[in-house]
Amino acid sequence: MSEHEISGLGMTSQRARQRLLARLQEEGIANWDVLGALHDVPRHLFIDEALAHRAYEDTALPIGLGQTISQPYIVARMSELLLGGRPLKRVLEIGTGSGYQTAVLAQIAEEVYTVERIKALQEQARQRHRRLDLKNIHYRYGDGWQGWAEHAPYDGIIVTAAPDSVPPALLEQLAVGGRLITPVGRELGAQELRCITRNDDGFDARTVEQVRFVPLVPGTTE
């Protein structure tokens, strides 16, 4: 991340960023690598200029095409669950969207593989990552229901849109000891965040909390 991006922030937004980090800690985010990543990645560069003044509020915001950039708390929580106290080599993200969660993952994992079904969003995210000089991100335009078999297995898989049930391909592409963090459920207001760990003889799943995500839609679109 270049010094220019950090120093380019006005004092107001630096203070807003500090306030956001304090709030995340109050809400129970305790992993320093995750807090450090949220501190370092300039969220205002991942949303439209018209909404940039709200970048450090703990809220989801529209990014166009009916999609949203996730709430910072959820980004932090999912990243923390994904890490689970061990180093992450390869991570797969389904739903690149604005590219913000991707950029956070790029700070805490060696290599990040990210899949998006809307080409315009993928291109925009790629440009933002280039501007921030992030070089450990790999992009696939395609249907996240299929994951990205070519680079499997992954130590961690994170899904940032909600399927109605856990996509089997993602379970298959998880390494033993790896974790899949995904919302499940189609109805807004009835989605649960699941943390699924692969062990030697199967999978352990637990429900973390209620969440709200846009749906994981099958197929791709231009």
- Catalytic annotation, residues: 70
Handedness of CA 104, 46, 129, 213 (dihedral sign): positive
CB of 105 to ligand SAH, least distance (A): 9
CB-nearer residue toward ligand SAH: 3 or 49: 49
Q: Compute, in degrees rounded to 10, the torsion defined by CA atoms 132, 137, 142, 143.
A: -110
The least distance separating ligand SAH from the CB of residue 13, rounded to whole angstroms, comes to 19
Least distance from C-beta 139 to ligand SAH, angstroms? 11
Query: By the criterion CB under 6 A, which residues form the site for ligand SAH?
Result: 67-70, 94-95, 97-98, 100-101, 115-118, 121, 143-145, 160-161, 214, 216-218
Residue 160 or 174: the one with the smaller Cβ distance to ligand SAH is 160
Q: Pairing mode, if any, of strands 67-69 and 191-199?
A: unpaired
Whichever of 37 and 69 has its CB closer to ligand SAH, that residue is 69
Q: Which is nearer to ligand SAH, 5 or 141 (CB)?
A: 141
CA distances from 112 to 23, 107, 130, 154 (A): 27, 9, 14, 10
Closest distance between ligand SAH and the C-beta of residue 67, in Å?
4
**CB of 15 or CB of 171, closer to ligand SAH:** 171
Structure tokens at 96: 């690149």
Q: How far is the CB of 94 from ligand SAH (least distance, A)?
A: 5
Q: Cβ-closest residue to ligand SAH?
A: 97
CA contacts within 13 A on the Cβ side of 132: 24
